[in-house]
Amino acid sequence: MSTALDRHACLALDRADALAPLREQFELPDGRIYLDGNSLGALPRSTADRVARAVREEWGHGLIESWNRAGWIALPQRVGDKIARLVGAAPGELVAADSTSVNLFKVLSAALALQAADAPQRRVIVSERSNFPTDLYIAETLAQERGLELRLVEPDEIALQLNGDLAVLMLTQVNYRSGQLHDMAALSAAAHAAGALTVWDLAHSAGALPVDLNGSDADFAVGCGYKYLNGGPGAPAFVWMHARHAARMDREGLRQPLSGWMGHAAPFEFTPGYRPAAGVQRYLCGTPAILALTALECGVDTLLAAEPLGGMATLRAKSVALCELFAALVESRCAGHGLTLASPRDATQRGSQVCFSHPEIGYAAVQALIARGVVGDFRAPDILRFGFTPLYTRFVDVWDAVEHLRQVLEAGEWRRPEFNRRNTVT
Amino acid sequence: MSTALDRHACLALDRADALAPLREQFELPDGRIYLDGNSLGALPRSTADRVARAVREEWGHGLIESWNRAGWIALPQRVGDKIARLVGAAPGELVAADSTSVNLFKVLSAALALQAADAPQRRVIVSERSNFPTDLYIAETLAQERGLELRLVEPDEIALQLNGDLAVLMLTQVNYRSGQLHDMAALSAAAHAAGALTVWDLAHSAGALPVDLNGSDADFAVGCGYKYLNGGPGAPAFVWMHARHAARMDREGLRQPLSGWMGHAAPFEFTPGYRPAAGVQRYLCGTPAILALTALECGVDTLLAAEPLGGMATLRAKSVALCELFAALVESRCAGHGLTLASPRDATQRGSQVCFSHPEIGYAAVQALIARGVVGDFRAPDILRFGFTPLYTRFVDVWDAVEHLRQVLEAGEWRRPEFNRRNTVT
């Protein structure tokens, strides 16, 4: 992407963009350039009315009967089947429920149980040192409980870990800080060749780029509903396992530890003994969060609306173009201010975000940008993170964001005291 | 309560009821008598607008900044502090999060870990055979994993189990089927005298009757947000532990197994090692479900609105009066049709529901009532269950419900084929 581009050229790119109309699906606040859809996706226009209908009609009027009449009871599967279309899973293989952390606990427990049965000498879980902390915390506790080792390594050290000690390779497909994209197919094949199982967190890849769980021969996966899936703050997450594990768990009657009633084979028989439901349904636990699932469905629908335009492959092409443009413009127009590209330079190894690091002013520069209406985020200790959601980000937004960043840096705006007070969440 | 009452007398009771204006807080559908608030609470009038504001303003306009500016990050604690006022807990002792099943897993795990450290010879979890199945399923799996025994007994056998084998006594304070109310203070004292810990599920008691967790010296508790708390279908649940356990877990750095990032001492430092947050905050796991918590807060507020009128004690008095009236009217006006009271006759031993059993026609009779606009529910194999929510149930509703039941039975309406086809959820 040429850095000789100017703002007019960016506007021309937007005019030529076949995906541009998809932006109309969103309520985006005036005067802001939102580059944080990788943290919290924007609000779909359909969500408010749809949730209001769920509240007033389904809950308020239908009351308890809506479990049947409004299809509430099947919502985890219905939304799951839609998400499945985005991540290369088959219908019935994926359900929406609980949080990413809780779902990770379920599948990592299941993967470890399978390995404990098949290869008890394998006592190591390997993950990336800079994996999202909640994944590491969940794995750390499970490892402690089971007397296993959680081994944290750098991405280039993963290959060394694929040996006879490895039980499970647990990775987030796109690193939340750097945006580095792991090769799911290659790592799954290598892990399998070494006798290990893979657990994938799709938090920064589902809805951001083409994911092919079955094509990659992954074993287990979880993902987040409130980032690229636009499901709303704290939206339900999702969980998937490969059909071979579903079949085996069915055959052997295996359970996951959060054996709640919605994962029972016959929840409304109210029998005292637990029998797991078939396949991925056993990963349901408590009563489904209907209002939250309703909002999540609206979010997922904004991505499915791209299917006639080429779906995730087309979205990915735009995402790559946006990211390339941003990286090139920052490096050319903000040169000399100490920013270093902290994401892979090769777009094929990067998710839908571009990060820069700065040894000192990262936090304050992000606050100064936010004050100007350019919303990215800061990830401790030194990362300025910018997410590019091809559903609603325009090329001109990229231009304008970089122009604001240039002005912040050149004017030393980040020095202002109000940009140097830490909030709870950034 | 005299069974010589007639409909006019019920109307007079409603006119004299100081709590009657609280009904105006709810959107109740015309033409229906809703006696299933113990399964799904009715919709508060404030909820739809409040949730719409959270969707359009906080999410849509505020986007990621709402984690700070709209107070999202503190919502589990804010809602938790409100629920605490209903169940005899102190501020900061209770958080709203996840589902009842998931929360039970957390606290039962914690209780078992404490006992494993203090008294490893105690290897039995005791619960009620007719406890709500999800509680039993969660306990069954934990017991299996830890090589413990889950022993299910009848209520009158509990006392026999309070011995040197008992690790944890896990009960639902009000039985979901029979409505039987356990004496939390007495059972907690007896369990402690025997060296055991108690885990209480408040699903059918929080918001239904005065609960005094601290006064009863309970150890751990969980509860449901979508029944008497009116939080909406699949609303977040809550979790509490006694301050002595919080202090010990703090002192010894103990974790619960679902060690997600929101239960970390410093979630936004993004450090790879887990350190539990203080007290009950360690029971948070994934990102809070903001829309669902927002709806739950509206529901809890409908109960707090009763505080100037005497709070849960006054609500309980009305609940008892409604239940007594219903039981008496069914037994007098529906006599000879094979219904047997399946709840304790003594109101002090009963929650806010009245159940009858019938050996054959329970399911169909409930369906016939629903067709007439009287919404109770059926619980397999033979229970007709009716919940009385003093916030919005009137005495005349009780009269009318019994009159419908009488007509269903006398006309044999339950024989109709359409009332004998089983739905997924009843």
In one-letter notation, the amino acid at residue B150 is: L
Per-residue pLDDT of chain A (426 residues; tens, 9 = 90+): 455 689 999 999 999 999 999 999 999 999 999 999 999 999 999 999 999 999 999 999 999 999 999 999 999 999 999 999 999 999 999 999 999 999 999 999 999 999 999 999 999 999 999 999 999 999 999 999 999 999 999 999 999 999 999 999 999 999 999 999 999 999 999 999 999 999 999 999 999 999 999 999 999 999 999 999 999 999 999 999 999 999 999 999 999 999 999 999 999 888 889 999 999 999 999 999 999 999 999 999 999 999 999 999 999 999 999 999 999 999 999 999 999 999 999 999 999 999 999 999 999 999 999 999 999 999 888 999 999 999 999 999 999 999 999 999 999 999 999 999 876 554
Based on the residue annotation, tell me whether A201 is a catalytic residue of this protein: yes
Residue contact B102–A102, C-beta within 8 A = yes
Q: Which of A201, A219, A301, A397 is catalytic?
A: A201
Listed in order, strand segments (DSSP E) in A190-282 are 197-201, 220-223, 237-241
Omega of the bond prior to A29 within 30 degrees of 0, cis?
Answer: no
* Phi, then psi, of B378 in degrees rounded to 5: -110, 135
pLDDT tens digits, B316-353: 999 999 999 999 999 999 999 999 999 999 999 999 99
Distance from CA of B4 to the nearest CA of A (A): 33
User: Is A56 within 8 Å of B48 when comparing Cβ atoms?
Assistant: yes
Q: Give the β-pairing of B237-241 and B220-223.
A: antiparallel
Cβ-based contacts of A52 with chain B (< 8 Å) = 48, 51-52
For residue B124, what are the contacts with CB-CB under 8 A and spacing of at least 6? Answer: B148, B149, B150, B151, B161, B165, B166, B167
Residue A363 at interface with chain B, using a CB cutoff of 8 Å? no
Consecutive H or E run containing B237: strand B237-241
Q: B-chain residues within 8 Å CB-CB of A65?
A: 370, 375
Q: Which residue has the tokens 């960016």?
A: A10
List the single residue in A with minimal CA-CA distance to B145: A257
Q: DSSP class of residue B48? A: H
B385 among known catalytic residues:
yes
CB of B48 closer than 8 Å to CB of B214: no
Buried/exposed B64-97: b ≥16 CB within 10 Å, e otherwise: bbbbeebebbebbbebbbbbbbbbbbeebbbbbb
Three-state secondary structure string covering B60-93: HHCHHHHHHHCCHHHHHHHHHHHHHHHHCCCCCC
- Nearest chain B residue to A224 by CA: give it: B287
A318 catalytically annotated:
no
pLDDT for res B422: 78
Domains and CATH numbers, chain A: 7-45+307-419 (3.90.1150.10), 71-303 (3.40.640.10)
Q: Å from B3 to nearest chain A CA?
A: 30
Which burial class, exposed, middle or buried, applies to A151 when counting CB atoms under 10 A from its CB (0-12, 13-18, 19+)? middle
Distance CA A334, CA B107 (A): 52
Residues 6+ apart with CB under 8 A from B369: B375, B376, B401, B404, B405, B408
Cα(first)–Cα(last) distance of chain A, in Å? 31
Q: How far apart are CA A244 and CA A231, in angstroms?
A: 30
Backbone φ and ψ of A242, nearest 5° = -65, 145
Contacts of A289 in chain B (CB under 8 A): 99, 233-236, 289, 292
The low-confidence residues of chain B, meaning pLDDT below 50, are 1, 426
- The interface pTM score, or ipTM, of the predicted complex is 0.97
- Asked if B261's CB is within 8 angstroms of A424's CB, the reply is no
Per residue, the 3-state secondary structure of A63-126, as one string, reads: HHHHHHHCCHHHHHHHHHHHHHHHCCCCCCCEEEECCHHHHHHHHHHHHHHHHHHHCCCCCEEE
- What is the SS3 assignment for A204? coil
Q: Taking CB atoms and an 8 Å limit, are B274 and A136 in contact across chains? A: yes
Confidence (pLDDT) at B74: 97
pLDDT digits (tens, 9 = 90+) for A215-261: 999 999 999 999 999 999 999 999 999 999 999 999 999 999 999 99
Q: Which DSSP state fits A347?
A: G
Q: Catalytic annotation on B201?
A: yes
Q: What is the pTM of this model?
A: 0.97
pLDDT given at position A5 = 86
Per-window interface: A 103-132 vs B, CB < 8 A: 105, 129-132
Give buried/exposed letters for B204-220 (b at 16+ CB in 10 A, else e).
bbbbbbebebeebbbbb
**Residue B298: DSSP 8-state:** H
> Residue A367's closest CA among A424, A301, A426, A308?
A426
Cβ atoms of B375 and B36 closer than 8 Å: yes
Which residue among B26, B34, B132, B228 is the active-site one?
B132
Provide the CA A183 distance to its chain's centre, in angstroms.
16
What digits encode the pLDDT tens for the residues B28-71?
Answer: 999 999 999 999 999 999 999 999 999 999 999 999 999 999 99
- Tell me if B35 sits within 8 A of B401, measured CB to CB: yes
φ, ψ for residue B63, nearest 5 deg: 45, -140
Question: A287 at the B interface (CB within 8 A)?
Answer: yes
Q: What is the pLDDT of residues A298-312, one digit of tens each?
A: 999 999 999 999 999
Q: Please state, in angstroms and rounded to a whole number, the distance separating the CA atoms of residues B284 and B292.
A: 15
How close, in Å, is residue A262 to chain B by CA atoms? 8
Chain B: give the shortest CA distance to residue A3, in Å. Answer: 30
**Structure tokens that stand for B49 in this block:** 């607008």
**Any chain A CB within 8 A of the CB of B72?**
yes
Mutate to test the interface with A, among B28, B39, B109, B137 (most CBs of A within 10 A): B137
| pLDDT value of position B269 | 87
- Measured CA to CA, the distance from residue A85 to residue A303 in angstroms comes to 10
Amino acid, single-letter form, for residue A177:
R
- CA atoms of B404 and B103, how far apart (whole Å): 39
Pick from A222, A261, A369, A389 the residue to mutate for testing the B interface (most B CBs within 10 Å).
Answer: A261
Whether omega before B381 lies within 30 degrees of 0, making that bond cis, reads: yes
Active site (annotated) includes residue B98: no
